[in-house]
Each structure stands twice: as C-alpha cells, then as structure tokens.
Amino acid sequence: GAVVSQHPSWVICKSGTSVKIECRSLDFQATTMFWYRQFPKQSLMLMATSNEGSKATYEQGVEKDKFLINHASLTLSTLTVTSAHPEDSSFYICSASPAGIKYSYTFGSGTRLTVV
Amino acid sequence: AQRVTQPEKLLSVFKGAPVELKCNYSYSGSPELFWYVQYSRQRLQLLLRHISRESIKGFTADLNKGETSFHLKKPFAQEEDSAMYYCALISQGGKLIFGQGTELSVKP
C-alpha cells in the first residue's frame, strides 16, 4: 500500500531558529501533498496544499513567509518553520495522494515540534 | 461553507455496548465522506469511506442526506476500539476537511 514517510518524528529547537520537516511518498508519486497542524486531541487544521513544481496554496490565516513549503519532486515536500516561536510548538502532519487515484490520502506519522 | 461537525469530544462506553459517533456535515451537492481513526501514538488511517459501503473492524456508516449526517456505528464495542475518530469530507477544492474529532474510550 501507499506509504508516506515523515521526518523527523520529533524535534526541539530554540526560538528564532528554523526547522525543516520532510514528507516523502515512498512507493508512489504525489503531485499534491497536504500539510496539517494538530493540537492535542483536537482536529487536524489544514495549513497548505503543496503542489509539485509550483507554489503552495495556503489556507486563510496561515503565514506563508513563516511556513515555507517546497515540493520540488513528485515524492518529496518540505515544510520549513522559519524563526520559530514557542507558539509554533505543535504536531505537524503531512498527507499525500497518489497521482491519478482520486480521493486516496495517506498520512505521515507526524512531527512533534517543540520550540524552547 | 463546507464544514464537518462532530458534537461529542469524548464518548465513553463499556465493552460490548453499542457505539455511535456522530458526524454532521455542511456541503452543497453530493459529498465524499470518510471516517479516519488515530490510535494512540499511531498515524491517522482510513477507517471507511461512504462510497465503498464497506464494514471495517465491525464499523459501518450510512450517509443520510436528509439529515446531512454520516454517523459511525458499531454494535459491540471492543477495548481496542479506543482511539480518536475523525469524520472528514472532500471540499470542492479537493482538500480533506476534518471534524473536531471524538475520543472513544471503551472501558472493560
């Protein structure tokens, strides 16, 4: 089955630094990947849609300069949290959909970001 | 507006009891609806989708367009069913939109 690998699974960084999170589709190509943010026992909030070879589209209220998304290949999307602050601490999850298969979403295992 | 509402944050039942996790949606047209499950410390995984009309792990969900609902049901809950459950729909922009989630706790 379709597998999405997300790395790192957890990261601790200092305020003001940047952190990069990778999302890879291991056995399929994904023209579109999605980035979510999840608070403990709460919903997944869609942050942005990552499109291979073009700019990401961000949801309302999400700062595109803070959350930089790059989708340079059909198997890799990255989310960089720039100038991180403690309020950016959260669980970030990516999702990918195999090209050509409608409405099939596979999720990564998530990244726990803690900004100190 | 396209929206998914799960009114219960926590549902606690005893093993063997029936369980129903509620989901209501707001969508113009025919929605694509899903239930996802997230076990403790595991990734989100698809439980079922309405167009498949399948039963996974004993769970079923029926789309009721009149009531705009897609409730998840299981006749006899098991302890291993304890998890977070999310109802979701595909927006008209092709994005997966989640409800707030319901934590199901099945007590022995």
Q: What is the pLDDT of residues B22-76, one digit of tens each?
A: 999 998 888 899 999 999 988 999 999 887 777 788 999 989 999 999 999 999 9
| CB-CB neighbors (< 8 A) of B45 in chain A | 107
CA distances to A105, B40, B58, B81, B85 from B104, in Å: 23, 11, 15, 7, 7
Q: Do A95 and B96 touch (CB under 8 A)?
A: yes
| CB-CB neighbors (< 8 A) of B5 in chain A | none
- CA dist B55 and B41 (Å) reads 24
Largest CA distance in chain B: 43
3-state secondary structure of B23: coil
Give me the residue from A41, A49, A105 closest to B84, CB to CB.
Answer: A41
Q: Is B8 touching A (CB cutoff 8 A)? A: no
Q: Do A95 and B99 touch (CB under 8 A)?
A: no
- CA dist B108 and B85 (Å) reads 19
Q: Any residues with CB less than 8 A from the CB of A69 and at least 6 apart, and which?
A: A35, A48, A50, A56, A77, A78, A79, A80
Average pLDDT over residues B7-26: 96
Asked whether B99 and B5 are in contact (CB, 8 A), the reply is yes
| CB-CB neighbors (< 8 A) of A42 in chain B | 100-101
Tell me how far the alpha carbon of residue A22 is from its chain's centroid: 7
Asked whether B86 and B98 are in contact (CB, 8 A), the reply is yes
Question: In chain A, which residues have pLDDT < 70?
Answer: none
Among B residues 14-53, those touching chain A with beta carbons less than 8 Å apart? 32, 42-46, 49
